[in-house]
Structure 1
Amino acid sequence: MLQLNKPTSEINRDFAEADGSPSQTLTSYLDIIRRQFPTMIAIVSACVILALLYLFTAAPLFTSTAAMVIDTRKVQLFQQQSVLGDIAVDSATIETQVEILKSENISLAVIRDLHLTEDPEFSGSGGGLLGAITGLFSSGHAASEFEQTRRALGRFESSRTIKRLGLTYVMEIGFTSRDPQKAARVANAIADAYIVDQLEAKYQATRRASVWLQDRIKELRTQASAAQKSVVDFKIANNIVDSGGRLMNEQQLAEVNSQLIMAHASTAEAKARMDRINDILKQEIPDASVADALKNDTIVKLRGQYVDMASKESIWAMKYGSDHLAAVNLRRQMAEIKKNIIDELRRIQESYKSDYDIAQTREESIKSSLASVVSESQLTNQAQIQLRELESTAQSYQAMYDNFLQRYMESVQQQSFPITEARVISAATTPLVKSAPKSLIILGAALLGGLLLSFGAAMARELSDKVFRTTGQVEEQLGANCLAILPALGALPPAPASLSSKLGRKKSNPEPDLLRYVVDNPLSRFAEAVRSLKVAIDLNSIVRENRVLAVTSTLPNEGKSTLSTNLAQLIAHGGRG
């Protein structure tokens, strides 16, 4: 390296800017990769070898899936028979069923049904290299039944997958195992265990509801009987009698009111007849039309005789004179008949008066009965307020009793045919292709990871050493401008014959002449670096003339003489001495 005390110039500024350009950065990264290439190849190869070792030693795994759906049509069909209330199938319900499928209750049921605690895949240390390593460090004591069950449960849950397909009512059940047939068998067993669990849950819920309904029905029956007995006792205590859906007092009131109306009419009719007979008795001779209206046979007969005698008396009086004995006898008989008619009318008058008195008495009696019935009805109406409350309570208890009895009958029927909303739409089948490990993915990941790890290791090695490799490092650490970096000189391949002949190099010399290196190898990196120093010296002479050029180093044998001689050779060959 050469450090020159020179001012900042336009050329130096351009050089500094070029040093941090993207192309310079890319070149530095490529240089790092070139220098650390063996280390990177070793790390990538180790990662790929480990991946291949894992692929050769890991046991293949097979995954089988079954599909289950919540049948909403079946839910709607049996909704009206549900004792526990209507079922609404929504997104939350499906997610709940997914969590039920993941529950330990379903997992333990499958483990018990398939005897998975006796399966080495669930009770052993597992297959592959990892399982063998784990088995070496495991203790030799026999595990208890509880420990075997919990170990089998943990591996069962790690191999099982439950998920909902999108926004549908379909749930996908998957299981992964080293045996493809076992994977399909366990996946189908999970679906069957879920359906059985749902049936059992509904049966248990219905049975608990039936037991609760029985107790509630007994209580409601007792309450309904007590309420009805209170209604009957209240009616007896208040003389309230039902007849055809109406109270007896109301019927009596209606009947007595009708009787009073009829009695009032009878009294008016009897009074009219009595008044009429009184008017007839005031006449000297009853009128014929009135006599006929009375419909009395005796009066009609006497009236007929009276009329005949009056006709004869008139004829005889005109023929023999009014003083004739026959006319006088006729008038005497007519007076007797008139007296008899009046007596008969008076007898009828007494009869009509008796009828009128009877009608009045009957009307008064009915009025008294009506007042008594009205008084009793008022008391009954007041008692009916409490009676209606008692009857309402009795009806409520009876309605509740009938409703619970109906629900109890429905629950008894549902215990005989429990219905589940879930059904399997796609049973799990034996998989033909393994699901893990995926060779291409593992190899790709190993290669990518190896590349990243190797590049990181290369960068770490570059940052951890204390060697200056770039001009930027020199300028950053020393705070001085760096014009060029000289490569180390060693044994070089022989130069071409034409170039050697032009430079006059002796072929008999097997080792390169370091003091004439820039002359013998003008296209080498060392020559280019020395040439950069000469260009910087020439540019700096524009500002001020160079008198003395000093080459120094911190340690001996770092190439001060070699650099000075080659620089002098380059200046001399450039025509400046």
Structure 2
Amino acid sequence: MYPPDPSALRINRVHALQDAQSISLREILAFVRSNISIIAASITVCTLLAIFYLLMATPIYSADASVLIETSRGFNTPNEAVRTDLMTDQARVENQMEIIKSHRVAQVVIAKLQLESNDEFSTSPTSISLLFQSIAKIFSGEPTAEELARERKKQSRRVQARFIERMAVRRIGQSLVMEVAFLSRSPELAAEVANEIADAYVRDIVNDRSELARRRTEWLSERLDLLQKQTFDAQRAVERFKLLGDTGPAADIRAKLAELESVSQSYRRMYDGFLQQYAETSQRVSYPEPDAKIVSQAEIPLRKTHPRSILILAFSLFLGVASGTGIALVRSTMKRSVGAPKQIPEQIGVPCLGVTSDIGGAISRNRVRIPSPPWLASVPWLAKAPWFALPPAPTGLSLSSMGDMNFALSRQLREVKASINALTLRQSSLCIGVVSPRSGSGATTVAAGLAYLYANSGKKTLLIDACNNTSRLSRELSNGDQVGLMQAMRSTDAWTQVLERETTLPFRLLPRGDQRDGDSPADRFGAKDSSFQRMREEFEVVIVDLPSLSTSSDARTIGSYLDGVVVVADFASTTIDKLTSAVGELHEARSDVLGVVLNKVDENRRVRWRM
């Protein structure tokens, strides 16, 4: 008998594939919750590294002084005044900023504060460089005076380079005020250097103006001497012409005299003008006025500038979240574990029938506080301690006691039962198999639980143990009956004996029974005279506990004769790839896979999935 075409299952798959590409906020939160330990560990590591860096890093302090450029001061010739007016304020500020950052100002400050001997600016030779220098002295002898001078010059340039790297000059807004800042490990040194840079810049301007005024004074002095001689010669020519006169018409004499007087007056005015400029320039040599002044002195900083603790801690938090999320994504991609029930229809194409808790060991886990080595039990006061507990022995829930299962487990299995009923509404009788990709996934427990639920709901139920590798149903529920599945498949009398057997279970159990070498129930399920057909007619629900796909091929063979197969997957160890392979094998064997049951899921994860 081939399985029917379940349209409800196809509709479920279509809807699942339509929602495959959608990622909701709930899934994102579920991913974060499931990987919260990795993300928290990453945040902790990054934060600890940031705190370690903040504790070990050398603090850097910044002090700044303000300098104002005054464009109204200064002395210029008329042509220079025109060019100065055409120069924009931006150009003036940029020019002065470059002057402050020049090596000339740096040399003055370094020399005055003796920064070459400061450990912050000078670099001591390493042991390797000293070794090479010693070897070089052996072969080349003592260095000459020129070599020492070149080495001192190199050291001076290195100090200047470090000095300029620590100095920063910027314009404040659109004003003519410049801010001169300096970085140092010492707050006192930072303020002292910043103030000295501003003072050196102003002194440099004063010296430049004084030198310029001195040169102009020299030039004006020479020019005055020449103008004085020319003025004297012109005046003397006028006096001589008046005294001696000249022969010729009176009109010519008066014109010549006027010309001589005009020349003499011109020289006199030029002489007076240059004499006035000479006096002003001589005064500027003695009292030069700079084009800049210090607006505010640098104060000793109270807080460090680098490293910025809040910024580094915030970045470490962001880095921890990003790296933890990345590690979780890589881990999830490589492991390809089932992160949520929604992944099963999205990635496998079959519905998730339900989620069940970790049945085995549920009781023992509630008793354990802190597992301790067994030898500690010999110590009396330790054995009586409230925190002491021996490691729990591996225990599982007895199949014979599943009739008294708790409410939580009963509710979970009822959800699975309801999903199966929804997929098999058109069938008068139900014959399903329960299989797992690998042993130990809990397929036998799920099969027994479904048998209890179907039987308690009033349906005549048969549970068949076709699991030839463990036969747990036969061992725990059949009381050692020798007549079982293999005998019922061969003989009608054996099947009648099974039906007439007294049992305390709410359902009928067909145990494994005696098995001959090489005998397999799969060989008899498809036979026309097989008792399997009578089982389907006798019972409303037939549940077959199939062997795992990794240990036997009987599951694929028997599954093709059933109405559907339920795949039970161990949430902790079954990956998407293994589950996809198992479902694919069943489809290839023409078995209709009803869906997947996720088993051994902890309660916390179940609560997160329901949110």
Query: Which residue number corresponds to residue 85 of structure 1?
Result: 81
User: Residues 21 and 53 of structure 1: is their aligned pair in 2 closer, same or farther, counting only changes over 3 Å?
Assistant: closer
Question: Would you say 1:537 and 2:420 are equivalent positions?
Answer: yes
1:96-148 Cα deviation digits (max 9, x unpaired): 323332333322321122121110111137xxxxxxxx978887667932343
Query: Which residue number corresponds to residue 574 of structure 1?
Result: 457
Matching of residues 78-477 of structure 1 within 5 Å: 78=74, 84-85=80-81, 87=84, 90-124=89-123, 144-206=151-213, 248-249=250-251, 410-477=280-347
Q: Does the 8 Å CA contact 2:13/2:345 hold for their aligned counterparts? A: no
Displacement of 1:159 in angstroms is 2.8
Distance 2:130 2:458 in 1: 87
Which residue identity is paired with 2:398? D
Q: Does the 8 Å CA contact 1:173/1:191 hold for their aligned counterparts? A: yes
Displacement of 1:420 in angstroms is 0.5
Query: Which residue number corresponds to residue 523 of structure 1?
Result: 408
1:128-182 Cα deviation digits (max 9, x unpaired): xxxxxx9788876679323433332333233323233333333222223222322
Distance 2:129 2:357 in 1: 59
Q: 2:444 aligns with which of 538, 561, 565?
A: 561
Distance 2:103 2:324 in 1: 45
User: Residues 20 and 395 of structure 1: is their aligned pair in 2 closer, same or farther, counting only changes over 3 Å?
Assistant: same
Query: Which residue number corresponds to residue 362 of structure 2?
Result: 492
Q: Does the 8 Å CA contact 2:39/2:325 hold for their aligned counterparts? A: yes
Q: Does the 8 Å CA contact 1:19/1:472 hold for their aligned counterparts? A: no
Larger relative contact order, structure 1 or 2 (CA cutoff 8 Å, min sep 6): 1
Displacement of 1:198 in angstroms is 1.3
1:4-60 Cα deviation digits (max 9, x unpaired): 8844447984897599563532442233334xx0x3343333223323323333333
User: Residues 487 and 515 of structure 1: is their aligned pair in 2 closer, same or farther, counting only changes over 3 Å?
Assistant: farther
Larger Rg: 1
Tell me the secondary structure at the aligned position of residue 193 of structure 2: helix
Displacement of 1:463 in angstroms is 2.5
Distance 1:554 1:137 in 2: 65
User: Residues 240 and 533 of structure 1: is their aligned pair in 2 closer, same or farther, counting only changes over 3 Å?
Assistant: farther
Tell me the secondary structure at the aligned position of residue 168 of structure 1: coil
Distance 1:159 1:480 in 2: 67
1:245-300 Cα deviation digits (max 9, x unpaired): xx833689xxxxxxxxxxxxxxxxxxxxxxxxxxxxxxxxxxxxxxxxxxxxxxxx
Tell me the secondary structure at the aligned position of residue 66 of structure 1: strand
Query: Which residue number corresponds to residue 58 of structure 1?
Result: 57
Distance 1:98 1:197 in 2: 13
Q: TM-score, normalised by structure 2?
A: 0.53
Distance 2:413 2:291 in 1: 89
User: Residues 486 and 219 of structure 1: is their aligned pair in 2 closer, same or farther, counting only changes over 3 Å?
Assistant: farther
Q: 2:398 aligns with which of 513, 519, 522?
A: 513
Q: Does the 8 Å CA contact 2:59/2:185 hold for their aligned counterparts? A: yes
Distance 1:216 1:546 in 2: 129
Which residue identity is paired with 1:105? R
Aligned length: 409
User: Residues 511 and 538 of structure 1: is their aligned pair in 2 closer, same or farther, counting only changes over 3 Å?
Assistant: closer
Distance 2:96 2:289 in 1: 16
Which residue identity is paired with 1:146? K
Which residue identity is paired with 1:511? G
Which residue identity is paired with 2:453? L
User: Residues 570 and 406 of structure 1: is their aligned pair in 2 closer, same or farther, counting only changes over 3 Å?
Assistant: farther
Distance 1:91 1:171 in 2: 11
Gaps of 5+ in 1: 126-133, 229-238, 242-246, 253-379, 497-508
Distance 1:555 1:423 in 2: 86
Tell me the secondary structure at the aligned position of residue 548 of structure 1: strand
User: Residues 548 and 187 of structure 1: is their aligned pair in 2 closer, same or farther, counting only changes over 3 Å?
Assistant: same
Q: TM-score, normalised by structure 1?
A: 0.55
Distance 1:183 1:64 in 2: 5
Greater Cα offset, 149-158 or 485-494: 485-494
Distance 2:179 2:429 in 1: 86
Tell me the secondary structure at the aligned position of residue 35 of structure 2: helix
Q: Does the 8 Å CA contact 2:61/2:301 hold for their aligned counterparts? A: yes
Query: Which residue number corresponds to residue 33 of structure 2?
Result: 31
User: Residues 222 and 461 of structure 1: is their aligned pair in 2 closer, same or farther, counting only changes over 3 Å?
Assistant: farther
Tell me the secondary structure at the aligned position of residue 123 of structure 1: coil
Which residue identity is paired with 1:569? Y
User: Residues 82 and 249 of structure 1: is their aligned pair in 2 closer, same or farther, counting only changes over 3 Å?
Assistant: closer
Q: Does the 8 Å CA contact 2:13/2:351 hold for their aligned counterparts? A: no
User: Residues 117 and 33 of structure 1: is their aligned pair in 2 closer, same or farther, counting only changes over 3 Å?
Assistant: same
Q: Does the 8 Å CA contact 1:45/1:450 hold for their aligned counterparts? A: yes
Query: Which residue number corresponds to residue 434 of structure 2?
Result: 551
Which residue identity is paired with 2:187? P
Tell me the secondary structure at the aligned position of residue 187 of structure 1: helix
Tell me the secondary structure at the aligned position of residue 551 of structure 1: strand
Tell me the secondary structure at the aligned position of residue 523 of structure 1: helix
Distance 1:563 1:215 in 2: 118
% identity of equivalent residues: 29
Which structure has more helix as a fraction of its residues? 1
Q: Does the 8 Å CA contact 1:206/1:414 hold for their aligned counterparts? A: yes
Gaps of 5+ in 2: 1-5, 134-149, 236-245, 367-393, 461-611
Q: Does the 8 Å CA contact 2:360/2:395 hold for their aligned counterparts? A: no
Which residue identity is paired with 2:166? S
Query: Which residue number corresponds to residue 500 of structure 1?
Result: none
Which residue identity is paired with 1:565? A
Which residue identity is paired with 2:81? G
User: Residues 546 and 20 of structure 1: is their aligned pair in 2 closer, same or farther, counting only changes over 3 Å?
Assistant: farther
Distance 1:463 1:555 in 2: 22
Displacement of 1:193 in angstroms is 0.9
Q: Does the 8 Å CA contact 2:361/2:395 hold for their aligned counterparts? A: no
Question: Would you say 1:67 and 2:66 are equivalent positions?
Answer: yes
User: Residues 219 and 549 of structure 1: is their aligned pair in 2 closer, same or farther, counting only changes over 3 Å?
Assistant: farther
Tell me the secondary structure at the aligned position of residue 183 of structure 1: helix
Tell me the secondary structure at the aligned position of residue 192 of structure 2: helix
Distance 2:329 2:320 in 1: 14
